[in-house]
Amino acid sequence: MSAPSKTAPSKTAPPRAHGDAAAEVEVSAPHLLGQGFRDYLRYDVRLHHEPGGAAEASQRDIVVGGRVVAVLCFDPARDRVVLIHQFRLAAHLATGRGRMVEIVAGRVDPGEAPAAAAQRECLEEIGIAPTRLEELFKFMPTPGVTDEICTLYLGIVDSHALPARAGLAHEHEVTAPFTLGLDRGVHHERAVARKDVCYEAVVDVWRCWSA
């Protein structure tokens, strides 16, 4: 009986580093599928899942979002965060709760610096401007759907003159600013119990900022 043959070691791709990285992909020029508040584009894509491997062809659709900013507004003198209520049709259709709790956020205008956009959005949505802005990080909220990339700031504000209503009339934007206290003894439990994602995010950022 012949000795069993030894199995040759399989050739696998070297382990990839953790974190985002460039992909081996060929992307066509965009095809415009629809145009409204945002453009809706389709691309022909040939993606190589392994370096030098065969390409898989597919079509991918993207809603053009571009650059946006978001601001976690905090009043350290009163130990309160500033949030807004704003109607969102998608939330209404999906959950029946269209009056959402949100932080300040909006698009960066062409030629506008993100920090300037953050200041402007605070004035528009909560009626007050931050006395200081700290950039926290950049992220893509929903990369499976849109190319929108967001710069998140911590904004230090004085909430004593917070209006009951804000927003831009010509954009049909109506916001209702309000404040929420940071009770350091129970704030995390409240956030979890209420499933208040915005509130929990503010608390987490505040922990990092004050460390």
Span 118-147, pLDDT tens digits? 999 999 999 999 999 999 999 999 999 999
User: Which of the listed residues 9, 43, 63 is the one where a domain comes to its end?
Assistant: 63
For position 194, what pLDDT does the model report?
45
Residue 58 and residue 140 share a domain: no
| Digit-coded pLDDT (tens) for 86-120 | 999 999 999 999 999 999 999 999 999 999 999 99
For position 201, what pLDDT does the model report?
53
Q: Which residue has the higher pLDDT, 171 or 8?
A: 171
pTM of this prediction exceeds 0.85: no
Establish if 9 belongs to a structural domain: no
Structural domain count of the chain: 2
Establish if 170 belongs to a structural domain: yes
Establish if 11 belongs to a structural domain: no
For position 10, what pLDDT does the model report?
39
Residue 157 and residue 109 share a domain: yes
Residue 206 and residue 172 share a domain: yes
The enclosing domain of 167 has a CATH number of: 3.90.79.10
Domain coverage including residue 183: 67-210
For position 34, what pLDDT does the model report?
97
* HEC assignment per residue over the chain: CCCCCCCCCCCCCCCCCCCCCCCEEEECCCEEEEECCCEEEEEEEEEECCCCCCEEEEEEEEECCCEEEEEEEEECCCCEEEEEEEECHHHHHHHCCCEEEECEEEECCCCCCHHHHHHHHHHHHHCCCCCEEEEEEEECCCCCCECCEEEEEEEECCHHHCCCCECCHHHCCCEEEEEEECCCCCHHHHHHHHCCHHHHHHHHHHHHHHC
For position 202, what pLDDT does the model report?
54
Q: Look over the chain and give the mean of its residue pLDDT values, rounded to a whole number.
A: 84
Among 56, 121, 124, 171, the active-site one is 171
Give yes or no: 171 in active site.
Answer: yes
